[in-house]
Amino acid sequence: MARKFLYVVAVCVVLFILARLALIFYAEDLTEMAFVPDGPFRERPALAAGAYDDPKMWIARPGMKKKDDPAQWLPAHAQGRTGAAKVSVFFIHPTSYMEKDDWNASLDDAASRERARIYVQTMASPFNAADAVWAPRYRQAAIGAFFTDRPEAGKAIDLAYRDVLAAFDVFIRNVPQDQPIVLAGHSQGALLLRRLMRDRVAGTPLAGRIAAAYVVGWQVSARHDLPAMGLPACETAAESGCVMSWLTVADPADTSMLMKAYDRQTGLDGQPVRGSDFLCTNPLTGTRDGSSDAAPNTGTLVPDFKNGGGELVEKVVPAACEQDHFLHIGPPPKLDLAAFVLPGNNYHVYDLTLFWANLRSDFARRTAAWHEAHR
C-alpha cells in the first residue's frame, strides 16, 4: 500500500510539473483554446434609436432606487459623501462575458449581467460622491476577443463600441451644460473609452468639461494614443482636465504576455504602438511615474463576492511606476485576493479596488480643481 501511495504521489507531482510547463510554454495557445469563440461572427443590427432613453439599458443611472443602483454602494466603514459633487460620471464596465459560444454578449445574458453589476459596484463606487453615475449595458465583446488576432475579434469590439457611443450621446444630452464630466473605464471599458475620447472629446468644446479621465487596465501609448484623446496625461495630483492610466502587477512579475499583446496593437493614430512607452499614473500619489510606500494607501477594497460586500484595509498596498511602465505593488499583498490574480502576478482584476479610497479622494480633488479653474 505504501508503495502504491508513493506511485500516486509521484504521478501527481509529474502531472503538476507538466501542467506548469504547459502554462509556461503554451500559455497563449491554451488561453486561445479555452476562451476564443469557435464560430463565425454574427453581425447584429444597431440598437433602435433612443434605446438608451430606456432606464433598463443602464446598470447605474440617476433616478434608480439606491438599493437597485450598484454604483451607490459603499464598503463597510467607508466615508459617505457629504453633499453631492457637481459632476457627472460616465463609467464603462470591463468584460463580464466569459463564454466562447458567441463573439458578443447578449444584453439578456444573465451571468454576464450579474458580473457587470458586481464590477460597477466595486469599480464605479469610488465616484459615487458625484451628482450622478451612469454605467451602460452594452453588447460587449467576449473575453476571447482579446486573446486573438482573428478579424472576428475586431468586429466584436466595433459592435461593442457602437453601443457605448450611443449610450454616451444620451448621457451627454442629460448632463447640465455647465457641469464637469468624469470619464472612467476598466479593461475593455478602457479600450472603448480611448476611442470614445478620440471621437467625441478631442478637438471639441467637450474637452474643456472633462475634469478627469480614468483609462485603467489598458495601455495608453504616450505617442500613439494620448495625443489623439484630446487631453494630456495627469502630471500632478492637483490638476484637472487630464488622463490617468495604470496596469497593476505584483513582484516577481511576468509581463511577457501583456507586452506581446501590446506590441500587436495599433494606436489611435493608426500606427503600430510596438516599442512606444505607455502611460503609468500612480494612484497613491496622483502623479505620472510616481512611487510610494503603503502608508498613503487609505483603503484597499477587499471584495466579498459571496455576500456582495467588502471591506477597506489601510496601508497594506504600495505602488510604484517602474521602468517597464507597469504599476508594481511589491510582493503579493497578504489580503484575500488570490482567487482572481492572473498568471504572472497580474493584478488586473484589482486595478481599481487596490486603491479604492485613494481613487475616491483623487476624484474629489480633480473635480474641485476643475470647479476652481472655471469659477
User: Is residue 199 within 8 Å of residue 165, measured between CB atoms?
Assistant: yes
Q: Where are the alpha helices (DSSP H) in 92-179?
A: 110-119, 151-174
Q: Which strand ranges, in their side-by-side order, compose the sheet holding 243-244?
A: 58-60, 130-136, 85-92, 181-186, 210-216, 243-244
Provide the number of structural domains found in the chain.
Answer: 1
pLDDT for the residue 32: 61
Please report whether residue 1 resides in a domain.
no
Please report whether residue 3 resides in a domain.
no
Please report whether residue 140 resides in a domain.
yes
Q: How many CB atoms lie within 10 A of CB 282?
A: 23
User: Is residue 72 within 8 Å of residue 115, measured between CB atoms?
Assistant: no
Range of the structural domain that residue 206 is part of: 12-373
Q: Which amino acid is at 49?
A: A
pTM for the full predicted model = 0.91
Q: How far apart are CA 135 and CA 281, in angstroms?
A: 23
Per-residue DSSP letters for 30-81? HHHHHHS--S-----PPPPTTGGGSGGGEEE-TTS-GGG-GGG---BTPPPP
Over its C-alpha atoms, the chain yields an Rg (Å, rounded) of 21
* Spans of the chain, pLDDT less than 70: 1-33, 80-84
Question: H or E segment at 319?
Answer: strand 319-321
